[in-house]
Amino acid sequence: MPLGLLGKKLGHARVYDVNGVITPVTVVLAGPNYVLQVKTQAGKDGYNAVQLGFDEQKEQRLSKPVAGHIKKFNGKPVKRIQEFRNFSKEVKAGETVGVTLFAPGDFVDAIGVTKGRGFEGVVKRHHFRGGDSTHGAKGWHRRSGAIGQRLFPGTVMRGMKMPGHMGQVRRTTQNLEVIQVREADNLLLIKGSIPGAEGDYVVIREAKKRPKGWTPPVSIATTKRGEVKKTAAKK
């Protein structure tokens, strides 16, 4: 996790580019992030990491262990703390980092907790087709159907898709493009959707599968007339 920020999902919007093309974006408040602690390989921790804090909080609302940890490094009381290993930017405890860690065109991964859907059936949870609505079908419109195996083995197989609790799990959405970086407002406008509801905390980190400066590969083809034609390969 070379670079990353803690943020809060604010909502959705759409922006226009110079050609008037609309891009749907998710607005994330990603700053300021306070550097609470810097761990090093040579220190007692034994690894390189940076602890960031986000969203200021009243000190009396923190637990004593967390408040003591923050006071030890002269940090600000915050609601959320996240540790990023192998942070590629050199920082010191007490400093502040923000949305300028990223630039338009960068690809990031967004980590959050999905919306809680409660108890859901198989049609909603697993996209089952359901039973027929005609030809005498009664009472099987949204049921899953048979789940056993007759006499042998006579049990329900492990992992069978059935009704149950849906949502409220940690999920990562990969390879989201940063469209705009608004430093004055501490906002990141990211193309696509991010897990969680509006107001939920999210982690924005560098994309693991597409490094900074990634550009689509160019394929070179020769036409019948001998002209060289360059086209962007499919992602």
Q: What are phi and psi of 199, to 5 degrees?
A: 100, -10
The pLDDT, as a whole number, for residue 152 is 84
Q: What are phi and psi of 166, to 5 degrees?
A: -125, 135
Amino acid at 135: H
pLDDT for residue 82 is more than 80: yes
pLDDT for residue 230 is more than 70: no
| Closest by Cα among 15, 19, 44, 35 to 27 | 15
Query: What is the rounded average pLDDT of the residues 61-86?
Result: 92
Of 174 and 229, which is predicted with more confidence? 174
| Closest by Cα among 226, 230, 155, 200 to 28 | 200
Query: What is the rounded average pLDDT of the residues 26-32?
Result: 93
pLDDT for residue 215 is more than 80: no
Calculate what percentage of the chain has a pLDDT beyond 90: 66
189 pairs with which residues across the strands? 27, 180
pTM over cut 0.95: no
The pLDDT, as a whole number, for residue 235 is 44
Query: What is the rounded average pLDDT of the residues 31-60?
Result: 92
Query: What is the rounded average pLDDT of the residues 154-173?
Result: 93
| CATH class of the structural domain 4-116+169-232 | mainly beta
Whole-Å CA distances, 37 to 33, 79, 153, 231: 12, 15, 56, 47
- Does the N-terminal peptide bond of residue 104 adopt cis geometry, omega within 30 degrees of 0? no
- Sequence spans of domains, the chain: 4-116+169-232, 117-167
Query: What is the rounded average pLDDT of the residues 90-118?
Result: 93
List, in order, residues 6 or more apart from 106 with CB less than 8 Å away. 177, 178, 206, 207, 212
3-class secondary structure, 36: strand
pLDDT category, 148, cuts 50, 70, 90?
confident
